Amino acid sequence: MPTLALRGLTIYPKMMVHFDVGREASIKAIEEAMSSNTSIFLVAQKDIRVEVPDRNHLFDIGTVSTVRQILRLPGKTIRVMVEGEYRARLHDLVQTEPYLVAQVEPAEHGPAYEGKSNSLRAEAAIRQAYELFDRYCELSPKSASAEMLMNIMSSEDPGYIADFIAQNVSMRVLDKQSILDELRPVQRLNKINRLLHREVEILEMEQNIQRRVQENMTQNQKDAFLREQVRVIQEELGEDGDNEITAYRRQIMEAKLPEEVTNKLLKEVTHLEKQPFGSAESSVLRNYLDVCLELPWTKTSKERVSVSAARKILDADHYGLEKVKERVLEFLAVKQLAPDLKGQILCLVGPPGVGKTSIAMSVARALNRKLARISLGGVHDEADIRGHRKTYVGAMPGRIINAIRQAGTKNPLLLLDEIDKLGSDLRGDPAAALLEVLDSEQNSTFRDHFVELPFDLSDVLFVTTANTTSTIPRPLLDRMEVIELSSYTDEEKLQIAKQHLLPKQLKRHGLKKSQVKLTDDAIRELIVSYTRESGVRVLERELGALCRKVAMGIVSEEYKQAHVTGDNLEQFLGPRKFHPEKNGLENQVGLVNGLAWTAVGGTLLEAEANVIPGSGKVELTGNLGNVMKESARAAFTYIRSRAVQLGIEANFYKEKDIHVHFPEGAVPKDGPSAGVTITTAMVSALTGIPVRGDVAMTGEVTLRGRVLPIGGLREKSMAALRNGIHTVIIPKDNEPDLEEIDQTVRSALQFIPVDHVDQVLANALERPPLAQPDQAGGQVPVVSPETGSTHATIPQA
């Protein structure tokens, strides 16, 4: 017979049900049953998501039904009314197109399936079903209890009663199918009783939850009403009571805040007073008032203005760093003479590990100011500085106001760490937000977006730290006084290790001074062979590793006291990590010692040049930046213009290829200060004259051979000393920078100021270049730019 697959619906015998049909195959099956006046087999799908079901998607038991009525709805949907006749078992689908046709067999036959039953067990099951269904109809708002109860109470057939209840109770599809699958009437009724009992319990639980929610809401409304009554009664009696609003007003009046702040906060308290209990706006206002009352509007810490006391603290905490200490003591001296001096903005710039952050902490201790540290590394959002409006969810003040709040005073020392690591994106530029903060002329009325009140930052001493000033925006850098902290010399590192680092590590590792004897030679060897840095951070780590080795030896009872010298240092720290170049480097053709500045201090940068037959190409390798490549092109052009005077063939640029290479090719290199190095290497390679191995140089070169000044001379000179260099050639304009170089470095090195490449060549090459004869067959003199005199002419070879 024609078959209809039902989705989420089950039809029981002797029940009249109407439902909508939309699938084309289902509509054709119904039309076929109506036109041929035959019954139709209704069976449920196992998975309602299947659009075209086959035999595996259908349950085994369904209902043979008669189509009573068809109503066509707009679109392709029809509403059909069917009446179930009897259960049937599905054997097979004999047709799937254009509609389903199934081979079915009646399932209810024989005495076991007869309707009436007179047994006591059946009677008890029927009574239980009446009671449960009555309770279900009371709890379920959708059921018409009176009509339904009258319908089933008129019947004594347990199978019919079970089918009727199953048809009219909301249950899961599998539960309904299990009732249809049960062919024995009494067992079917018992099963529906169990399912109905479960549904009644669920409905009772839902009603309990709903009743509790309603009671809570009623209680909240009652509380709000009573509070409003109490407030009105207190107003009529002229009594405010010691409530939250009164406490806020008392705090505001006792705080002795500026007039503008007091008026604003009192207005917010009045606004809070008018809010209904439990409103979202009231929690926002409470948070705002709490933050504003925690700010130190007038509270200051008593500053220590004694220069001598501050000097002792700074000297005890740090070795060296004379320039920074001098600047801080100058600030204190002026503070003694002019107490109203506004807060200054200092920017400590230097490589990692030289003590920028720690000296800011020492300055706070020396001045007896509270310290608040703000890390700006990686900050991208302007709201991190200025805060969010208080109306936003989760709004909070910016980092500046938060730091003031944590410090608890109006005049703390604010340490803005890593100011060169600020970023910007679509949420704003935090560096631009700092322009007002770090301007002593404007920050007396700094307004945070959350507080919305002017807060005076002019008494705050701002100290910022950075590794380089190149990434700090110019307007921001213009507001700060830059103090450079350069690299430590090996002697300074020795003193820092002895006076600060070693005692600190011994205490941290639980060792006594008598248990570790560390000689000066061992510390020097540790500095030279195990670290390569500007600061002392790695040195401190290596001392920590040494202490751990000693602690292990003492605990394992290998020795009671460790005596560490330069000779046995490898026993504690393993093989040396760095092998400095030995004194007396060999003189080689085309190999020049250049000097470079890096973020971790100065380094020796070798330049190699080689000349091979070719067509005049210049090859540059070593991961060079654009500026360095341009320096090489400028050097090549200068050599071409001076080829005859330098003793180089005039047409070398047509017949020779020059390859300039900087070793450690994986390390990026850039900057103009390698100009003289590249020029010297090219001249040496073209003339065949070796370059002195104990000479290093730095300086920018122009097309006309002028030597221009460079930066980082202190770090570069220390790198030259570390690598066994005796002579350093520097630009003449950098001569004043020699005053900043440590005396031990100045005494160990010979500095030669130059302002022209000819002077560089005269001091760097083993011998002067041979001048080429001119076109007339004479000799061209080599002129020294230093004296203006001519060298002796060289006869033609």
Residues marked active site are found at 673, 716
Asked if 393 and 400 touch (Cβ cutoff 8 Å), the reply is no
Q: Which two tokens stand for residue 601?
A: 């201090």
272 vs 275: CA distance, rounded Å: 5
626 vs 624: CA distance, rounded Å: 7
List C-alpha distances in Å: 341 to 210, 306, 367, 436.
68, 15, 14, 19
299 vs 724: CA distance, rounded Å: 57
Asked if 720 and 742 touch (Cβ cutoff 8 Å), the reply is no
Rounding to the nearest 10 degrees, give the CA dihedral for residues 520, 521, 524, 528.
Answer: -170
Q: Position 654: which residue type?
A: K
Give me the residue label for tokens 């209890």.
145
At 653, is the secondary structure helix, strand, or coil?
helix
Q: Compute the residue count for the chain.
A: 797
Residues contacting residue 385 through CB under 8 Å, at least 6 positions apart: 379, 398, 399, 400, 430, 433, 434, 437
Asked if 342 and 459 touch (Cβ cutoff 8 Å), the reply is yes
The DSSP string of 383-413 is HHHH---TTSTT----HHHHHHHHH-SSS-E
Residues contacting residue 319 through CB under 8 Å, at least 6 positions apart: 492, 495, 496, 499, 500
Rounding to the nearest 10 degrees, give the CA dihedral for residues 425, 427, 428, 434.
Answer: -110
Rounding to the nearest 10 degrees, give the CA dihedral for residues 535, 536, 539, 544.
Answer: -150
Asked if 617 and 640 touch (Cβ cutoff 8 Å), the reply is no
Total Cβ atoms within 10 A of residue 787: 7
* DSSP H or E stretch at residue 573: helix 570-573
| CA dihedral sign, ordered 335, 337, 341, 347 | negative
465 vs 130: CA distance, rounded Å: 85
- Does the bond joining 98 to the residue before it have cis omega, within 30 degrees of 0? yes
Contacts by residues 685-688 (CB-CB < 8 Å, ≥ 24 positions apart): 685/589, 685/590, 685/609, 685/610, 685/611, 685/658, 686/611, 686/639, 686/646, 686/648, 686/652, 686/656, 686/658, 687/646, 687/647, 687/648, 687/765, 687/769, 687/770, 688/589
342 vs 94: CA distance, rounded Å: 98
458 vs 475: CA distance, rounded Å: 19
Strand duo 695-697 + 591-598: pairing: parallel
